[in-house]
Amino acid sequence: MKFARTVWKILVAIKDGLVLLLLLLFFGGLSAALSMRPTGSHVQEGALAITLDGPVVEERAKVEAGAFLLGGGKTRRQYVLRDLVRVIEAAAGDGRIHAVTLDLEDFGGASRVTLSRIGAAMDKVRHAGKPVLVRAVLYDDGAYQLASHASEVWLDPLGGVMLRGPGGTMLFYHDLLDRLKVKAHVFKVGTYKSAVEPYVRNNFSPEARQAENQVYGALWHDWQDEVKTARPRANLALVTADPVKWLAASGGDAAKAAVAAGLADKIGDKADFGKRVAEIVGNDKTDSAMAYKATRYSTYLARLHAPDAGKPVAVVTVAGEIVDGEAGPGTAGGDRIAALIDKAAASGAYSALVVRVDSPGGSVLASERIRSAIVRFKAKGAPVAVSMGGLAASGGYWVSTPADRIFAEPTTITGSIGIFAVIPTFEDALGKFGIGTDAVRTTALSGQPDVLGGLSPTMEGVLQSEIDMGYRRFVGLVAASRHKTPEAVDTIAQGRIWDGGTARQLGLVDEFGDLDQAVAWAAQRAGMAKYHPVFLGDASDSFAGVLQQIFNDDGDSGTSDDSTRAAGHDLVGRVAMARLAVAGQFAGDLDRLVGGHGAQAYCLECAGLATPVTGAAPNALQRVGWLASLLGLAR
């Protein structure tokens, strides 16, 4: 037996050694792949070629290495706004770059605020005397907002321009829940807190419709103003008043109609576009995929040095839904973000903090943890500024309350100061299938909340009291921050959303400005003559990020996402893709109903105004399957 144990130990040691050797070989090969991967090792004279084949976001979502590898190395590419702007603005002053091209064929969308910031960077290139050329098959509102800032707008012969304006359909589930015998117990404060209306109504309440119309009208007005300023010859009235008549005037040819209305300059496919750029910057004989001399986006970005002169200003990003725990980046995990802020405060390296918010809100508890961490940072005598992106509503405004100054844009959506909770119970549904319930209680709260037997009046009173208390706290935080009385805040709260311009008039926002202006203000308040931003928790050098670098080659072929490749790029294909957005909305609404969430400071009506996401969460999709099964039983 002793001999056998010795042999076994030797075999285990050999096995462990082989595993270690394989790991060393793997990481050695990975390092070699990175060093040998052709990236266009230098910036060459010609154009800066940018293919936006994904959404532009404030913070790139975390990619799990295991899921990435098991998925075959396919992810939806995301572009970080600050990186994209830095690249375009650097090209304006780079003598090697003679033009900038943007391919928007697979553009994944962005918020209005984000698009305006990119457009301003494009304007800098044009003001430097360099042309900006843009191409796409179909331009929707977002893509055209970018295209309007270009010198030349190119359109595929089979393409067109479809301007729809903000707005759309929300789903309401009251009758469905009645059919399923599911009771949605809603606890809320706020006349305009329409986040709960899908569960208790079949349409918008008059108050919610009023708020939505006001905000969407302001967004559409600002969008038209920007496009008309950037491209005065665009006849938007002709295009939006009667699209059928407009198309008929050009024989139904959408591309020719766009040129006739001044929306586009040239009609041609990708090859024609490449020849035109080659006329400006010269032909490239070495790159078969691109006819003109160019440096690709990733190559140019890799060779740009992040600013590091002067003292550091800490910048923390609150992007996506605010949730409990360590989630993110790309989702605002309350514990994760609070830890980043506390670590920065403890280091003593930062004398100012800027909080960049682009969130519809979420968990009250997570929002409070982020807010408390900001207060702790501020307690050290450091100025705090908040920079609102496209969306800073509900919990997104909660975390903004400690700020000494709040910056926003005219098209920022903010407000939605209110709280709600939804708890479904299934006592009637169980009875329909012959399942009875009974209970033994020692107090009025025994076994409560009871999703199977129903909520007792006492439990309902306790929950509503909790929501009332949360709302009073929310209003109190805003009142203290904005130097108003709680009564004055309550009149502009009630869960109502506001556009940035109106929010500024109401005192919820201090001034218009972007992230750079917020950083400059914080640095000035901290007495810094020279400064540079440091983005806390930047995970761009993570292992999964390295894998993405290898597998998601920055080619000219469009997107690396197979699902997007398979989708149609023309008008009919894009309209058909709207079904994915509806499915995502349905999955998200269902998850909010039965997902076990706590009190929420969330702006559900803002969902259509956020940066597009790549798909519904897996747990939400599982609940869609659960509901489908339940519907089958209810027939």
pLDDT (tens digit per residue) in 574-583 = 555 555 555 5
The upper half-sphere exposure of residue 248, i.e. CA atoms within 13 Å in the direction of its Cβ, equals 4
Where is pLDDT greater, at 628 or 181?
181
Options 351, 359, 394, 400, the catalytic residue: 394
The length of the chain is: 635
pLDDT at residue 39, rounded to an integer:
45
Where is pLDDT greater, at 403 or 455?
403
**467-494 residues labelled b (16+ CB within 10 A) or e (exposed):** beebbeebbebbbebbebeeebbbebbb
- How sure is the predictor about 617, in pLDDT bands with cuts at 50, 70 and 90? very low
Q: Shortest CA distance to 515 belongs to which of 377, 384, 389? A: 389
pLDDT at residue 212, rounded to an integer:
85
Degrees (nearest 5) of the Cα angle 272, 275, 277? Answer: 110
Options 124, 188, 193, 484, the catalytic residue: 193
pLDDT at position 203 over 70: yes
Does residue 437 contact residue 430 with C-beta atoms inside 8 Å? Answer: yes
pLDDT (tens digit per residue) in 98-152 = 999 999 999 999 999 999 999 999 999 999 999 999 999 999 999 999 999 999 9
- How sure is the predictor about 167, in pLDDT bands with cuts at 50, 70 and 90? confident
Contacts of 28 (CB under 8 A, 6+ apart): none
pLDDT at residue 155, rounded to an integer:
96
The CATH number of the domain holding residue 111 is 3.90.226.10
Q: Shortest CA distance to 418 belongs to which of 511, 345, 495? A: 495
Told to judge if 188 belongs to the known catalytic residues of this protein, a careful annotator would answer no
Does residue 364 contact residue 195 with C-beta atoms inside 8 Å? Answer: no
In order, the DSSP letters of 91-160 are: HHT-TTEEEEEEE-TT-----HHHHHHHHHHHHHHHHTT--EEEEEEEE-HHHHHHHTTSSEEEEEEEEE
Degrees (nearest 5) of the Cα angle 501, 505, 507? Answer: 115
pLDDT at residue 565, rounded to an integer:
47
Domain assignment present for 81: yes
pLDDT at position 543 over 70: no
- How sure is the predictor about 616, in pLDDT bands with cuts at 50, 70 and 90? very low
Domain assignment present for 388: no
Domain assignment present for 192: no
| % helix, strand, coil for the chain, step of 5 | 50, 15, 35
Domain assignment present for 58: yes
3-class state of residue 333 by DSSP = strand
- The stretch 600-606 carries a mean pLDDT of 73
Does residue 391 contact residue 411 with C-beta atoms inside 8 Å? Answer: no
Domain assignment present for 327: no
Does residue 101 contact residue 294 with C-beta atoms inside 8 Å? Answer: yes
Told to judge if 394 belongs to the known catalytic residues of this protein, a careful annotator would answer yes
At which residue do the structure tokens 């590898």 appear?
69
Query: How many other C-beta atoms lie within 10 A of the C-beta of residue 337?
Result: 28
Where is pLDDT greater, at 72 or 305?
305
Give CA–CA dist 194/205, Å, rounded. Answer: 8
Q: Which burial class, exposed, middle or buried, applies to 617 when counting CB atoms under 10 A from its CB (0-12, 13-18, 19+)?
A: middle
pLDDT (tens digit per residue) in 233-247 = 999 999 999 999 999
Structural domain count of the chain: 1
pLDDT at residue 127, rounded to an integer:
97
pLDDT at residue 611, rounded to an integer:
57
Full-model pTM = 0.83
- The stretch 14-27 carries a mean pLDDT of 68
Where is pLDDT greater, at 240 or 26?
240
Does residue 350 contact residue 314 with C-beta atoms inside 8 Å? Answer: yes
Domain assignment present for 589: no
Domain assignment present for 248: yes
pLDDT at position 559 over 60: no
Does residue 138 contact residue 575 with C-beta atoms inside 8 Å? Answer: no
Q: Shortest CA distance to 266 belongs to which of 383, 375, 371, 136? A: 136
pLDDT at residue 480, rounded to an integer:
95
pLDDT at position 635 over 70: no
- How sure is the predictor about 5, in pLDDT bands with cuts at 50, 70 and 90? low
Q: Which domain holds residue 130?
A: 46-167+227-302
Domain assignment present for 15: no
pLDDT at position 627 over 60: no
